[in-house]
Structure 1
Amino acid sequence: MARIVIISGSPSASSRLQGVLDFVQQAGVQAGLDVEWVQVRDLAPEDLVYSRFDSPAIIEANRVIAEADAVVVASPIYKASYTGVLKSFLDLIPQKGLEGKVVLPLAIGGTIAHLLAIDHAFKPVLSALGAHHILSGAFILDTQVQRLENGSFQLNEEIAQRLSQVVETFIQEASWRAERNQTTGLSQDVALT
Structure 2
Amino acid sequence: MTAPAPGTDGPSARPRATAQHYSVAPVPVSPEGYVAPGMPGAPVTGFEPAAPARRTVPRRRTALAVALSVLAMLLGGLAYGCAPLRAADSLGWLAIAPAGLVALPLGLLGGRNRLLPPLGALLAAGALLLGQLTEQLRRVHADGPGPRGLLPDALTAWRADLRLLDAAFYAIALIGGFLLTRRTAADRD
TM class by smaller structure: under 0.3
- Could you tell me the TM-score, scaled by structure 1's length? 0.24
State which structure, 1 or 2, has the greater radius of gyration over its C-alpha atoms: 2
The TM-score, its normalising length taken from structure 2, stands at: 0.24
More strand by share: 1
